[in-house]
Amino acid sequence: RYRAVFRSALVDKLFGTDGVRDQANQGNMTAETVLKLGRAVALYFREGHADDEVRPTIVIGRDPRLSGSMLEAALAAGICSAGMDVRLLGVVPTPAVAQIAIQSGAVAGLMVSASHNPYYDNGIKVFKGTGFKLSDDEEEQIEILFQAASVDLPTGADVGTVFSMENASEMYSDFCTNILPEERPLDGLKLILDCSNGATSECAG
Q: By the 8 A CB rule, do 52 and 42 touch? A: no
Q: Which residue of the set 69, 104, 115, 201 is catalytic?
A: 115
DSSP of 126-138, one letter per residue? EEETTSPBPPHHH
Count of beta carbons in the 10 Å neighbourhood of residue 74: 22
Is residue 115 part of the annotated active site? The answer reads yes
Cα distance between residue 87 and residue 104, in whole Å: 10
Cα dist from 70 to 30, 47, 62, whole Å: 9, 27, 10
Is 67 in contact with 122 (CB distance < 8 Å)? yes
Q: How many CB atoms lie within 10 A of CB 13?
A: 11
Catalytic residues: 115
